[in-house]
């Protein structure tokens, strides 16, 4: 079989005007992959371009039109595919990542899967530092994509995120060939949402977005959205949806079991974050939001998306007559043993299946539009 020097993928060429240089030869020389430019592209060329759906039934009692961006339809199953790709490709372009590099990141799930995917695609070893709260199936997905899982044990009162970050720093200090994308400070994280997530939503809605509800943790998604909307001169109010128990936006620390929502430490990105409004949701709010989206819209969304649904509902009349955007970061399929398990909800949140049904039925007045 004949091999030849690999041309950069199409996406890199398109970024020439932003001084984006993509030279994968060092990785290819070291690794086993070869790129063939064809009109379909590889899996990572299909990150982005996710659908927008109107939530007509869920918010039938509100005087607002609500549109949701379904980030679960990225190939790795979440919004985190976007920053994962951006952080690695930008580091390849700058020469920070070469064929000798091992990528290490701390993640409770989605970012780990996104990085496992992009690292496997480029033939880079990836170590994901996780804590005991990580969902087993997320770890299995990462492993199936070739990642090594490094599980950090945390003491009773220790914040799991801080413990994971300590472990990553120790690994980085131990080997100069380790690259830490660090989603909590890397500007490629918000930029990927600026160039992708919000631009796509804004274009789909032709710039007519009065409110945008975004779940926050690293705050990369919300920051990227806000920066894009400001740069376009939109008057959109960006609403950060945060968890009870998160220290972001002046919150106080507490237990959080909904992955990807909130933070136990204020990261460099979050330090810069000032949003128009913050809505704080409980774990139960997230569950009711998820169950309601499934019931009224036949839409299986993840825990943070449930929080966004409940945050929109709680804003009630404020949203009357407006166009509202919502970003749903991932799918409910990864929460079947928690959010969508009656047993888990009853034992962890104290709500029985029948009480849950009443809460869901109270969300909108009728459950059919036929
Ligand atoms: C499911 C989910 N929702 C929301 C977020 C928050 O996104 P960001 O880190 O960009 O603030 C994350 C981040 O990990 C997530 O995994």
CB neighbours of 330 closer than 8 A, spacing ≥ 6? 71, 72, 77, 78, 79, 110, 260, 301, 302, 304, 305
- Mean pLDDT of the 207-225 span: 97
Q: Is 8 helix (H, G, I), strand (E, B) or coil?
A: coil
In ligand 1, the atom with minimum distance to the C-alpha of 330 is: 1
Q: How far is CA 2 from CA 5, 32, 34, 148, in A?
A: 10, 14, 11, 32
Token pair of 156 as six digits: 């009773």
Distance CA 233, CA 236 (A): 9
Residue 138, ligand 1, Cβ within 6 A? no
> How high is the pLDDT of residue 364?
73
Question: Of 196-205, 257-266, 303-312, which gets the smallest average pLDDT?
Answer: 257-266
Distance CA 156, CA 347 (A): 20
CB 53 within 8 A of CB 70: yes
**Cα(304) to centroid of ligand 1, in Å?**
8
In ligand 1, the atom with minimum distance to the C-alpha of 190 is: 10
> How high is the pLDDT of residue 359?
94
> How high is the pLDDT of residue 340?
98
Distance CA 17, CA 279 (A): 38
> How high is the pLDDT of residue 157?
73
> How high is the pLDDT of residue 180?
98
> Which single residue is written with the structure tokens 């970050």?
165
> How high is the pLDDT of residue 179?
98
Mutate to test the pocket of ligand 1, among 73, 110, 187, 267 (most ligand atoms within 8 A of CB): 110
Check whether 177 has a pLDDT greater than 50.
yes
Considering the chain, what is the average pLDDT of its residues?
89
Distance CA 155, CA 147 (A): 25
Q: Does this chain's domain 20-35+81-179 share its CATH topology with 52-75+194-345?
A: yes
CB neighbours of 267 closer than 8 A, spacing ≥ 6? 184, 185, 218, 219
In this structure, what are the phi and psi dihedrals at residue 117, rounded to the nearest 5 degrees?
-65, -50
CB 223 within 8 A of CB 249: no
Distance CA 43, CA 129 (A): 24
Distance CA 334, CA 136 (A): 10
Ligand 1 atom 5: the closest Cα is on which residue? 260
Ligand 1 atom 14: the closest Cα is on which residue? 260
Q: What is the CATH number of domain 52-75+194-345?
A: 3.40.50.1100
Ligand 1 atom 2: the closest Cα is on which residue? 260
pLDDT tens for each residue of 102-122:
999 998 789 999 999 999 999
Residue 242, ligand 1, Cβ within 6 A? no
DSSP-derived letter for residue 303 is H
CB 339 within 8 A of CB 289: no
- Mean pLDDT of the 218-228 span: 97
Distance CA 211, CA 222 (A): 12
In ligand 1, the atom with minimum distance to the C-alpha of 109 is: 16
pLDDT category, 357, cuts 50, 70, 90? very high
Q: What is the CATH number of domain 20-35+81-179?
A: 3.40.50.1100
Q: What is the pTM assigned to this prediction?
A: 0.89
CB 245 within 8 A of CB 254: yes
> How high is the pLDDT of residue 1?
40
> How high is the pLDDT of residue 37?
56
Check whether 33 has a pLDDT greater than 70.
no
Residue 221, ligand 1, Cβ within 6 A? yes
User: Where is mean pLDDT largest: 19-28, 147-156, 338-347?
Assistant: 338-347
Helical (H) or strand (E) element with 25:
helix 25-30
List the domain boundaries for the chain.
Answer: 20-35+81-179, 52-75+194-345
Check whether 210 has a pLDDT greater than 70.
yes
Ligand 1 atom 16: the closest Cα is on which residue? 260
């Amino acid at each position: 079989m004949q091999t030849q020097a690999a041309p950069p993928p199409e996406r890199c060429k398109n970024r020439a005007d932003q001084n984006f240089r993509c030279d994968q030869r060092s990785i290819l020389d070291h690794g086993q992959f070869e790129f063939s430019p064809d009109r379909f592209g590889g899996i990572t060329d299909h990150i982005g371009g996710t659908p927008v759906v109107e939530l007509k039934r869920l918010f039938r009692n509100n005087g607002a039109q609500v549109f949701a961006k379904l980030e679960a339809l990225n190939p790795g199953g979440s919004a985190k595919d976007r920053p994962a790709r951006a952080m690695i490709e930008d580091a390849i372009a700058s020469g920070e990542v070469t064929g000798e590099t091992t990528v290490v990141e701390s993640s409770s799930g989605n970012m780990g899967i996104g990085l496992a995917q992009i690292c496997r695609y480029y033939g880079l070893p990836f170590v994901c530092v996780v804590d005991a709260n990580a969902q087993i199936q997320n770890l299995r997905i990462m492993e199936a994509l070739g990642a090594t899982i490094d599980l950090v044990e945390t003491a009773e009162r220790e914040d799991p995120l801080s413990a994971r970050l300590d472990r990553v720093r120790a690994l980085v200090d131990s080997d100069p060939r380790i690259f830490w994308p660090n989603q909590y400070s890397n500007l490629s994280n918000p930029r990927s949402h600026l160039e992708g997530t919000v631009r796509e939503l804004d274009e789909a809605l032709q710039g007519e977005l009065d409110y945008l509800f975004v779940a926050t943790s690293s705050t990369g998604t919300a920051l990227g959205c806000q920066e894009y909307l400001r740069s376009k001169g939109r008057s959109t109010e960006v609403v950060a949806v945060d968890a009870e128990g998160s220290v972001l936006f002046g919150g106080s620390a507490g237990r959080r079991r909904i992955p990807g929502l909130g933070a136990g430490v204020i990261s460099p990105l979050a330090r810069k974050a000032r949003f128009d409004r913050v809505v704080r949701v409980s774990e139960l709010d997230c569950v009711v939001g998820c169950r309601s989206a499934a019931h009224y819209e036949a839409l299986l969304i993840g825990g943070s998306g449930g929080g966004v649904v409940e945050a929109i509902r709680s804003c009630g009349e404020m949203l009357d007559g407006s166009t509202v955007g919502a970003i749903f970061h991932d799918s409910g399929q990864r929460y079947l043993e928690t959010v969508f398990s009656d047993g888990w909800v009853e034992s962890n949140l104290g709500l029985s299946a029948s009480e849950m049904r009443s809460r869901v039925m109270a969300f909108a007045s009728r459950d059919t539009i036929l």
